[in-house]
Amino acid sequence: MIREQEVNSNSVNKLGRIELITGCMFAGKTEEFIRRLRRNDYAKKRVVAFKPSIDNRYSEDLIASHSGAVLKSYPVSSVEQLIEIYKKENAISPIDIIGIDEVQFMDKKIVPFIELLANNGVIVIVTGLDKDFRSEPFQNVDKLLVLAEFVDKLTAICHKCGNFANRTQRIINGEPANWDSPIVLVGETDSYEARCRNCYKLPKK
């Protein structure tokens, strides 16, 4: 694990915080995430971004939105790997802002690490789905909803009726997936649909 003094040697002002960008699929979370990190980069802040290596839909090392915006990042397969990269980068020059995309795909050790960073002056900007395809809370995001200073919950447009959508429907062979389908399935755009409350179908058990 990481020691507190390794987090940020330039954090005397204790300006750390957690910003969570959440919602269903196709809500523009990653686009907003990229916009915030780029804005801080333009402001001469030291920014480092991470993504789960499982999410390689568009690129191995780029965070990519559905609209085509991209951002260079470190793909990581574990929190331990993320911490090691963080320590190396922070030793080169103190990091001001950490970005973590698709935090629901990280293991549960990511939450205490994010809290440690924020407590020691680092701004952590995180994206993640708030609910899985069963409309149940996603791991890590449920905890960060409580810990974050700022939470932006974005909505999409329902694929069925055009209403505001806040649920994600997994589609297999043109039909809603069953309850016992895997929770984590990183698919192409035709594997999921954004649905509103009325058009969403609860998976069959």
Question: Which residues carry out catalysis?
Answer: 102
Give the pairing of strands 164-165 and 175-176. Answer: unpaired
Half-sphere exposure at residue 152, Cβ-oriented, CA atoms within 13 angstroms: 15
For the chain, the farthest-separated pair of C-alpha atoms sits apart, in whole angstroms, at: 55
Q: Which DSSP state fits 131? A: B
Helix, strand counts (H, E) of the chain = 4, 13
Token look-up 């802002």 returns: 97
Token look-up 């993640």 returns: 128
Nearest to 73 by CA among 53, 91, 95, 44: 53
User: Is the Cα dihedral 34, 61, 65, 69 positive or negative?
Assistant: positive
Buried b (16+ CB within 10 A) or exposed e, 181-203: eeeeeeeeeeebbbbbeebbeeb
CA gap 114, 43 in Å, rounded:
22
Non-local (6+) Cβ contacts of 204 within 8 A are: 176, 178, 179
